[in-house]
Amino acid sequence: MSLTVVGSVAFDALETPFGKRDKILGGAGTHFSLSASFFTQVNVVGVVGGDFGDAEWAVFERHHIITDDIEVVHEGKTFFWSGRYDYDMNTAHTLDTQLNVFETFQPKLSEASKNNRLVFLANILPMLQKEVREQCETAEFVAMDTMNFWISSMKDALIETIKVVDCIIINDAEARQLTDEPNIHKAARMILDYGLKAVVIKRGEYGATLFTRDSYFVVPAYPLESVFDPTGAGDTFAGGFMGYLASQKEITEETLRRAMIYGSVMASFNVEEFGTERVDRLEYNEINRRFSDFKRMTHFDEIPFERSVSA
């Protein structure tokens, strides 16, 4: 028993410059739990409609993800999102959003989900995130995501939620919007001041940054010559990050740093193919090899400069 995620389980329709898919498995809860499942046991809390089929359930089963808390509303339809990416793969253009059964989603946590050591609140209504957090009384480390829509429409409620978690994982534009502070370092410090232990800022092709009270840690993005489909990259990052932490006995500066690397590794695989396709068939040796690549591309020896007379 280790990690719970509450979030969307969905169908996506995607168009990118490299191809399209009409209806594939997606959603924050899906991408997160699939990524985390490589590191730990995951309980996923969500809701789907009667159209959620065997092929979709099979993805969760293959990765031993516990889906007891995915409610099935047989007469309803699963959350559907349709989007397009142009050559700037950083920006998703939403073509259609059908909330369906997700519109009235009320997370129902089993005792198992409530008692996990770590909890991730994927991007849902801030008040729901707070309710879930309060149900997980014994959780050691709770992290959350959010989005621009909640920041602009209900910042106060969102801040009340931020105050009761340990970590927030958001992108740089969201951090700036949340704080009205353009400098990302100042913005992160302002968010830490809500009482968090850690703030993780995702910066797309520029990597990710971890801010804690006493430290600052930067991870570059993995150097990909092409990004095929960025959908779910942020949730896949969060899944690797939280999944790795859940696998460790303690959450320390050292484990947080390695969690940042594992998050980046998992996200780098996610974007190589459509939806969950690449992560679904990922193997441990691929993960560890890419972890080593991150070490290789950031390592240098610290040798203080001393000016010699001859230099």
Residue 203 is a binding residue for its own copies (CB under 8 A) = yes
Rounded Cα distance, 271 and 89, in Å: 10
Q: Is 48 or 261 the residue whose CB approaches its own copies more closely?
A: 261
Rounded Cα distance, 50 and 73, in Å: 6
- Please check whether residue 31 is in contact with residue 239, taking contact to mean a CB–CB distance below 8 angstroms: yes
**CA separation, residue 303 to residues 5, 217, 298, 300, 306 (Å):** 43, 20, 15, 9, 9
9's tokens: 């389980």
Rounded Cα distance, 289 and 147, in Å: 32
Could you tell me which stretch among 69-77, 142-150, 161-169, 205-213 binds its own copies (CB under 8 A)? 205-213
Out of 20, 62, 185, 281, point to the residue binding its own copies (CB under 8 A).
185
Residue 295 is a binding residue for its own copies (CB under 8 A) = yes
Out of 260, 266, 271, 282, point to the residue binding its own copies (CB under 8 A).
260
Residue 250 is a binding residue for its own copies (CB under 8 A) = no
Residue 300 is a binding residue for its own copies (CB under 8 A) = yes
Could you tell me which stretch among 13-21, 77-85, 90-98, 303-311 binds its own copies (CB under 8 A)? 303-311
**CA separation, residue 295 to residues 145, 268, 288 (Å):** 27, 15, 11
Which residues form the interface with its own copies (CB under 8 A)?
Answer: 2, 38-41, 87, 182-183, 185-186, 203, 206-207, 209, 215-218, 220, 223-226, 244, 246-247, 254, 257-258, 260-262, 284, 287-288, 291-292, 295-305, 307-308, 311
